[in-house]
Every structure is written in C-alpha cells, then in structure tokens.
Amino acid sequence: MTTNKSYYKNIYNYEHTPNLVLNKNFKLQNGKMLQKANIAYQTYGKLNKEKSNAILICHALTGDQYASGINPITKKKGWWHDMIGKGKVFDTNSYYIICSNVLGGCMGTSGPKSINPLSKTFYGINFPEISIKDMVKLQYELIKFLGIKKLFCVVGGSMGGMQVLEWGINYPEKVKLAIPIATSFRHTAQNIALHEVGRQAIKNDFNWIEGNYIDKKVVPEKGLSAARMVAHITYMSEKSLSTKFGRNKRGFNNISKIFSGNFEVESYLQYQGSSFVKRFDANSYLYLTKSMDRFDLSEKYNGKLESVFKNNTCKWLIISFTSDWLFPTSESRHIVSALNANACKVSFVEIESDRGHDSFLLKVPRLYKILRGFLIGGKLQ
C-alpha cells in the first residue's frame, strides 16, 4: 500500500507552537493520569491589563487551533477566518482570542499520535479514553497559565458547542458569556450510528493495523477518507447538495469507468475525503468521535437536563440552524428549556439557513449579526 512521506511531514512531524506542557499529571474523568499533557494553541489580539477581554473559541471535531490566519498544514484560511480579526465579529482590536487544539486531537495537543513519555513510543490506541469534560479541563489549565481569571466569552459550534456547555457547567464563575452553537447536550442514537460507520471504515482499513500504523509508516487513508465522506454528508443538507451538484455528471460515458464516480457529488466527496487524510490522524478521529458519542450532560441526573444548570450564573446564547439535521433545533430547545427551568439568563435564536450543520462555519449574515450584538450587549453589564 501507499506510504505517504508527505503526510508524515504534515501531520506527524510538524511542531505546533505555542504549546503549553503541564508540569504535573493531568487526571482524566475516567481516573487515568496523563503524563506531561500538553496543549497547543493560537492567540489573536491582545490581552488587556485587566485580563477581562479574553474569548475562548472551541473548535469542532475536525477543526484545530488555527481558527484564523493561514493554517500551516493545509495552507488554507482558518476555519473561522472570516469571523476573527480586526473589525470582524470577534474583533481583535478589542478582544483577545484564544483557540486551542482539543485533547485527543492531532495538531500538537496530547493525543493518540503523541509520544507516550513513559514508553517513548506513539500512544496509538493506548491513549486513554478522553471526554469532552477532559478537553475543557485541559483548556482551563491553559487559561490559568495565561493568567485569565474570567473569560469574557466561550464560544464554539458542534463539538465546540459541547465544550462551551461543559465550560458553563463546570466553571460558571469563570465564564461571562457562553455561546453553544449547532450542538446538543448529548449524542442521539442517530449521531452515534453515523459515527460508528466512520469508525468501522477506519478500523477495517488494512493499514490501520490495530492503531499501530504510525510505527509502520502507513496511513489508513481509505478508511479515514470514507469516514470523512459519510460525515461530510451529515454536515450538509439535502438542499445544499442539490443546489451545489444536483444530478450533474462529469461528461463521460465509459463503461469501464462505471464506478469511478461520474456524478459531481461523488467526485466532490472523494476530494473531501482525500484532502482530509492529509491533515488528520485516524486514531484521533476514533477518539474524538467516541468522546462525542459518550457525551451526555443529563446522564448523571437520570436524563433530567435541568439539574445540570441549577443556580447557573453564566449568560447563555443558544444558536441553532433551520436545516441542521445532525443537531436539529429541537436539541437546542432542550437546552433552552433546561436553562429556563432554572430561570437562568438565556437567549435563543434559530437562524434560517439551508446549508445544514456546517452553517456555523459559513458566512451566514444573521449569525454574524447575532454574535456581534450579543457581544456588544455582554459588555454593557
């Protein structure tokens, strides 16, 4: 099979800075300890004297700390490049923006592609199981290190939104504004099922080798690419696929090429899959999807989500999108109801967009307007 040296240069040998290494053991939710845990991050703008202008941005499953500017791995603009910068929604003239790679990720933060400091080998699937709560706990270490007592705002979409929820619940006194976007308080059976398809694709790739592919200098690219293709469909809507591709074909009718993908939507997905494997680690994908699947804020309270928000003091803004079928508005409404049940400060908007779950990454004018307004309002008190 293919050995892809370029992947190694990109994903496995790049040094991401800045990178905070903890000088103590990091205890995970499942009780296990992580030695010398580290967290890679990026910052934009300047922290003010009072250290009161910090906004933590939490990335989604396949996002990373390069929220703005040019991503050194993909050489493309950051995933929220249009949102972060001078005069933009998250205005770096007035805010200090922090974005870190999640625990279990593959862009410099401790994860399955890191070297285990004890055995000096790649963790692979010997990396301990991690939770969304663990990701947030590690971010909290970073915030402490940066000397920030209270974050002005924590914001993120999808898996990033799950982190925002954990922030607001576990560290309410450290968060002024909490904005979970296009997310849920737990994964549904459908969410889990879709993730499982992706995981199976990776694990059944000949090159996965029980997770030890890095040592063997191969990449389970077919599996990871298939996983990405399935996931990518769930990030779009039927309408956005139809509008973009319809039933358009790429103009040939060669019988020998019958399965090579002559619908435009097929080649688009293949492209999405193949570009993804150049920037993402397959084991990370397994770990992160699992942490999302295990995520359920109401579990501890026998399904009573309202118990989670008892006496919560954060100011919340919940945002959903009309065409998001992966994290539909009904999920956000559950969160709103649970906050209402505690008479918490909550705002909620459902934004019209026909671009599916990915709407939170796209230039949706009302999203920009709502976020800008909420930040202005948040400064008033």
Partner 1 sequence: MMKNGRADHYVITKIVKKNSRILDIGCADGKLLHLLKREKNASGQGIEIEHDKVEVCLQKGLSVVEGDANKEIISFPNKCFDYVILSQTLQTVERPKWIMNEILRIGKKAIISFPNFGYWLCRTQIAFKGKMPVTSDLKLHWYDTQNIHLCTISDFCELVNEMNFVIENKFGINGKKVLSYPFNSFLMNLFASHAVFLIKNK
Q: Which residues are catalytic?
A: 158, 324, 357
Q: Is 197 in the site for partner 1 (CB under 8 A)?
A: no
> What is the nearest approach in angstroms of partner 1 to the Cβ of residue 309?
12
235: left (phi over 0), alpha (psi -120 to 50) or beta: alpha
Locate all alpha helices (DSSP H) within the chain, ordered by sequence.
Answer: 5-7, 132-145, 159-170, 189-203, 221-235, 238-244, 264-276, 282-294, 329-340, 365-380
**Quick check: helix, strand or coil at residue 162?**
helix
Query: In the structure encoding, which two tokens stand for residue 173, read together?
Result: 């006194």
> What is the nearest approach in angstroms of partner 1 to the Cβ of residue 176?
11
Q: Is the dihedral of CA 197, 139, 122, 129 positive or negative?
A: negative
> What is the nearest approach in angstroms of partner 1 to the Cβ of residue 337?
4
Q: Provide the strand spans (E) within 60-219.
A: 84-85, 90-91, 96-100, 151-157, 175-181
> What is the nearest approach in angstroms of partner 1 to the Cβ of residue 307?
12
Of residues 172, 230, 336, 368, which one binds partner 1 by CB under 8 A?
A: 336
Of residues 346, 361, 364, 367, which one binds partner 1 by CB under 8 A?
A: 346
Measured from the CB atom, is 253 or 381 closer to partner 1?
381
- Site size toward partner 1, by CB under 8 A: 26
Query: What end-to-end distance do the CA atoms of the chain give, in Å?
Result: 60
> What does the chain come to in residues?
381
Pattern 298-317, partner 1, x by CB under 8 A: -----------------xxx
24-32, 148-156, 161-169, 368-376 -> range binding partner 1 (CB under 8 A)? 368-376
Asked if the peptide bond before residue 328 counts as cis, ω within 30 degrees of 0, the response is: no
Of residues 77, 203, 294, 366, which one binds partner 1 by CB under 8 A?
A: 366
Amino acid letter at 1? M
Q: Is 369 in the site for partner 1 (CB under 8 A)?
A: yes
Asked if the peptide bond before residue 117 counts as cis, ω within 30 degrees of 0, the response is: no
> What is the nearest approach in angstroms of partner 1 to the Cβ of residue 351?
9
Q: Is 378 in the site for partner 1 (CB under 8 A)?
A: yes
Site residues (vs partner 1, CB under 8 A):
315-317, 336-337, 340-343, 345-350, 366, 369-370, 373-374, 376-381
